Amino acid sequence: MKKNIFYLLVGCVALALLLIFWYSVELHISLFIELAFIVGIILIVAARTRVTDWIDDERDIKITEQATVRTMQIFWIIFALFSIGAVMELLHVPEFPRLPPSMHPPVILPPRLMGYIQLGLLCLMIFLYVGFRIYYAKKYGDFETDEE
């Protein structure tokens, strides 16, 4: 399989996952998209092993390593910030005597908001990785041209 065919396949899988996600939301069945996501990843990994014109040389590996390390270095700090906030919410001790329902302190992180935050964190991680990958690719001469 050629590299371009592989990219086309990845695009098709992403599009299919988007449609399944929408369908899953309509049906309120989260398991549907979760299973589809796993199948999609397996498909992509299986296709990746069949690409014949893919060369991962030492420079590519170095770019990937450095981009991954930098992404994790920044991401774990942001992730820890949100996690600390969530744990604070979990460890909230009710006051005694109990206050009437109308006087309860507002919920800082409701479950639905947690879902959005997780999605935001995932997007942030992807953006960080892509950004660092472009940075290191440029640093190690990926966008260089010659007179050949």
Q: Which residues bind other proteins (CB under 8 A)?
A: 55, 57-60, 62, 139-142, 144, 146, 148
Name the residue nearer to other proteins (CB basis): 2 or 104: 2
Name the residue nearer to other proteins (CB basis): 26 or 58: 58
Short-list 87, 10, 16, CA closest to 54: 10
Q: Minimum distance from CB of 136 to other proteins (Å)? A: 11
Q: Minimum distance from CB of 66 to other proteins (Å)? A: 12
Name the residue nearer to other proteins (CB basis): 101 or 141: 141
Residue 90 CA to residue 79 CA, distance in Å, equals: 16
